[in-house]
Structure 1
Amino acid sequence: MAQMKLEIGGRSFTVTCQDGEEAHLSKLADMVDGKARESGDPAGLTESRMLLYSALQLADELHNAQAAPAQPAADSDTSPPSPVDNQIVAALEKLADRTEQLANSLE
């Protein structure tokens, strides 16, 4: 197991991940950090609220992407989502659930 330090919304988090998953986790953390920064002044939010809002924004984007009709590219077939896309969706859903649990436990 590898340990990583992630920066999200100006705060540091140390997390554990499977060996070889560091780049993927870093990419996901960058997405969450972007949403945390969009939430406004991170200093004005508790850690749990910042993560909750970030997860909700990502979940909203995911919901909208799943609800939108598929727009196949002109030169592509109508193949199903790639395994990587499915992994990202699953990871975002898991992150949203964990963040909501954290926010609930802190309130």
Structure 2
Amino acid sequence: MAETMLQIMGRHYPIRCRDGEEAHLQHLAGLIEQKARDAQQNSPGMTEVRSLLFAALFLADEVNELKREAAGRQSQLPLSDEDEPAARAVEALAARIEKLRERLAVGAAHA
């Protein structure tokens, strides 16, 4: 297990991660840092916590938009007759996974 130091909004955060993931985490911290700085520039005097909250909201909005775009593109992909059985199999697996998730959630609630 590796450890790296992330700096966000002038604070240092020691983070443990899998070996080799240090550079990726540094990159992600840079994205968070930039969004937090953008939030502070747009609303001077904002507290650090609120800046980080807005950074998280900005990033979540970007992820949500990318997911919507990907779903839209995926629905536009033409399926050939050869792809139809595979698509049905994937849909059936997704339904089974969802049922399993629901059962696990119910089991966790009763534990």
**Could you state the TM-score of these two structures normalised by the residue count of structure 2?**
0.53
Runs of 4+ in 1 over 3 A off after TM superposition: 41-44, 69-72
The amino acid of 2:34's aligned partner reads: G
For the aligned residues, what is the CA RMSD? Answer: 2.5
Offset at 1:3?
1.5
Following superposition, the deviation at residue 69 of structure 1 comes to 5.9
Letter aligned with residue 49 of structure 1: R
Structure 1 residues 1-80: aligned runs within 5 Å:
1-40=1-40, 44-46=46-48, 48-68=49-69
Unaligned runs of 5+ in 1: 73-77, 79-107
Contact 2:40 2:51 in 1 (8 A): no
- 1:68 deviation in Å? 2.6
**What is the match of residue 96 of structure 1?**
none
Q: What does the per-residue CA deviation read over 1:38-95, in whole Å, with 9 as the maximum and x for residues that have no partner?
A: 111687413x3332211111000111122236798xxxxx7xxxxxxxxxxxxxxxxx
Deviations 1:6-30 (CA, angstroms, capped at 9, x unpaired): 1112222111111111111111111
TM-score normalized by structure 1? 0.55
Structure number with bigger Rg: 2
- Secondary structure of the residue aligned to 1:54 is helix
Q: Considering fraction of residues, name the structure with more helix.
A: 2
Partner of 1:93: none
**Which one has more relative contact order, counting CA pairs under 8 Å at least 6 apart?**
1
Q: Quick one: distance in 2 between partners of 1:39 and 1:70?
A: 29
- Between the two proteins, the alignment pairs up a number of residues equal to 72
